Chain A
Amino acid sequence: MSLLKPGHRGCAGCGDAFAGKFVLDALGEDVVIVSPTGCLEVFTTPYPESAWGVPWIHSLFENAAAVASGVDAALNALGKKNNTKIVIIGGDGATFDIGLQAISGAFERGHDITYICVDNEAYMNTGIQRSGATPLYASTTTSPHGKVSIGNPLHKKNMPAIIAAHGSPYVATASIGYAPDMIKKVKKAAQVKGPTYVHVHAPCCTGWRFDSSKTIEVGRLAVETAMWPLYEMENGEVTNVRKIKNRKPVEEYLKVQGRFKHLFTMDGKNESIKKVQAIADWNVKHFGLE
């Protein structure tokens, strides 16, 4: 029985729910979870209910890493730390944008915490607005495609690199489409002493606009097209990658999502899809995915 109990208000087919479930599957009961404001926090804890079968705290949107730092300090001061893992599970908005400072401080101080970013590539809980994690050309409500716009004009911020630059001993990317791999990485991140980070791709059927039955399939397509490279970094060096056999062109990934549909009908579609393909090609080269 999962430690993330059913009855929560996540959408049918929710990627965040998968992420929460797999994190608890990986770590078990001896954890303290810290969540910033976001989909996962909201749909799991409508007062007086909670879906969390483990200790859990939500404070504000931008301070999860600072709150977790305080929990770490308190458990140490009280002599109660033992093997308890302190894990932050936060969305991309809270991680890439508003909460970045607190993450930077926490990682610089070197707390023994694990930060799991559940990345659905927009501010989903407030209605699908653009975040620093929104990929190039994705149509969101604050970066919509239109008569003079092709969607989000900005590239996705490279969070794993930023965390690695803080000297984190273990940084990994994962995907809910590859559950055993994700669970293994979360376990490893929690075991490694010091501040560690796992960046989880969590497709959102509501925000990306695809049928709820396709969440896992879309997650896999992201990896198979090299749009979401799976790798591990230890002490700043890439140590392990998941190689791609029979890499698919990015169209396979883009065409199944409503947020990219406009790329197939707008003027200059070949140019834009080429630019997206270039991102995938760069990943292949940079991480040695083939």
Chain B
Amino acid sequence: MARYDPLLAWFRRRLRLVATAGAVGIVLGGIAAVVIAVLDDPTTASTQTFAIGTLAFGFGILGWSGSALAGRSIEGLQRRLDTNSDWTERDSRRAMTRLSGFGAGVMAGVVIVTPLLP
């Protein structure tokens, strides 16, 4: 049993990261959709806000997998080309997890709010 604990903790940490960012995303996405719907029309609001959400989501996924895939190359490149950089694969992955969680949240927020739009 004890063997699985670190894995569980690992998973829980990631989950918390995604969930926090996702919650922020849902709220912001919902608000943005409503605001744009008032200013413009509901269809545009839903489409544009969702698209921005997918942008953040996709960008986060891309950044996450890119960091995991080419992290070492990028670390080497930055060390050589820049004088002061503290890029690390781990930081990058955490930030990207947040970003994609946020994007997914915005997408979810739009899906929830759209039926309520006038």
The answer to whether A and B belong to the same complex is no
